[in-house]
Amino acid sequence: MSSVPRLVIAAPSSGSGKTTVATGLMAAFAARGLAVSPHKVGPDYIDPGYHALATGRVGRNLDAYLCGPELIGPLFAHGARGCDLAVVEGVMGMYDGAAGEGELASTAHVAKLLRAPVVLVVDASSQSWSVAALVHGFASWDPEVRVGGVVLNKVASDRHEALLREALDAAGVPVLGVLRRVPQVDTPSRHLGLVPVAERRAAAVEAVAAMGAQVDAGCDLEALLALARSAGALSCAAWDAAEVLDSSPPPPLPSPTLGFARAGGPPSSLGAAPPDPRFGPERASSSNAGRADFARPNSKVKVAVAGGPAFTFSYAEHTELLTAAGAEVVPFDPLHDEQLPDGTRGLVIGGGFPEVYAAELSANEPLRKAVGALAENGAPVAAECAGLLYLCRELDGLPMCGVLDATARMSERLTLGYRDAVALSDSVLAVAGTRMRGHEFHRTVVEPCSGAAPAWGVRAPERRVEGFVQQGVHASYLHTHWAAEPGVARRFVERCRTS
């Protein structure tokens, strides 16, 4: 059970100021000596980096599409354990969720799952009395969502503030903060959103401090803390990597690939997939029926995980699962380290921005050769998005690791969204037929898009095959959350041990 006080920070739309208010609240409360647990609704990797700076704790994601609604409470309780307060930054507009899935994975959905009050951040720059109608609509749309107050952003003057407060007083919604229209805090963006913290450490620290000062000056922190304390208790147990591995099912037997041919063939059917019990009401997360205890070996196996400015996208639970499965997780920086850590038996290369650092990555020839040799020897390699690009022959004409017979280049087209996928080939992560949900977020193209043994058959939003499985390599654009399928980490570490 978790009774940690908590707030969900939402907005009518993107660009309203959620990140400023959420990060500022985290920093302001942390400066007052509170242990603040930072969370982000959705799959975004970048905002949690700023949250971590503000709180001194790992930023964690709460994604009801990737992980299933029933894991939101346990994952929250895991991250917030021992904290005085949790602040959850929402995603997009409050009721915007996975396309075609109703409220699934929306900020409102997560707020309900957490029994948390919502603070609505409103860009008031071009309105006065109309703000009451806007807030009333959001507060009354779903009676299960409790909007406990409003923070008004980009307010022009004392007169403007008075008009807004008068309107909202008539609507019966408390004003918990007012942020004036000031020059934007220095949080530069580029083709995939904010520049990650790891690329601008000193400037990012200054930006977070500025957000904290702005929120501290403009918000009623005592009223916000009182609202957070009104959150309902959560009855679920906290997620624990070792416990879920102990009760995780053994690697499944190969099963039909849901209308896709295996090993690179074209889709053989456009029929609907059978229901996925992980994401429907029939899933019983407390049941251990058909499960097998996981015996963890005493000796650790070394798994190198790419980091540094070029590879910043990772969920904290992945490292926790690998560690619980028996791995010694060792980070390295492909921009600067010329060799993999001594004794590396497996390699994880997550997302990030290799396209920004292509020249530096290419110039580190010793490491490129070391990665290529590790893959050639059959060691397990799991690569997502940026990792996929790094394993190609070249990226924007510059030599990369050459593990995959493919080339990568930047593109003007943004590829973004949730994906429903099925593993098409047995790999170090899963057997063919395993259902997973994932997320894509990139402006690059890999040609060809898949190898002789594709990694995934993507079922939605359009049917296609994607990614590469060869020897011990699993490389794909798809970002997945291993908490939804702990057996992925278990299988990967077992393969590291035996390869």
241: tokens are 């990597």
Q: What local confidence, expressed as pLDDT, does residue 426 receive?
A: 96
Q: What is the pLDDT of residue 462?
A: 84
Closest CA to 40 of 315, 246, 255, 284: 315
What does the pLDDT read at residue 186? 53
CA distance 216 to 179: 10
What pLDDT score does 280 carry?
Answer: 41
Residue 254 has pLDDT above 90, yes or no: no
Residues with catalytic function: 385
d(CA 100, CA 5): 32
Tell me what pLDDT residue 270 has: 28
The per-residue pLDDT for 202 is: 80
The least confident of 39-48, 85-94, 250-259, 412-421 is 250-259
pLDDT of 220 reads 98
Between residues 280 and 44, which one has the greater pLDDT?
Answer: 44
* In the chain, % of residues over pLDDT 70: 86
Across 219-231, average pLDDT: 98
Q: pLDDT band at residue 355, thresholds of 50, 70 and 90?
A: confident
At residue 279, does pLDDT exceed 70? no
What pTM was estimated for this model as a whole? 0.90
Mean pLDDT over all residues of the chain? 89
- Under the banding of pLDDT at 50, 70 and 90, the label for residue 258 is low
Q: Which residue from 112, 109, 89 is spatially nearest to 37, judged by alpha carbons? A: 89
Q: Provide mean pLDDT across the span 464-488.
A: 97
Q: What pLDDT digit, counting tens, does each position of 301-348 carry? A: 999 999 999 999 999 999 999 999 999 999 999 999 999 999 999 999
What pLDDT was estimated at residue 200?
Answer: 66
pLDDT digit string, tens, across residues 387-416: 999 999 999 999 999 999 999 999 988 889
What pLDDT was estimated at residue 184? 61
pLDDT tens, 164-217? Answer: 999 999 999 999 999 998 776 656 554 445 666 766 678 888 899 999 999 999
Tokens 């490129």 belong to which residue? 368
> What are the pLDDT digits (tens) for 65-86?
999 999 999 999 999 999 999 9
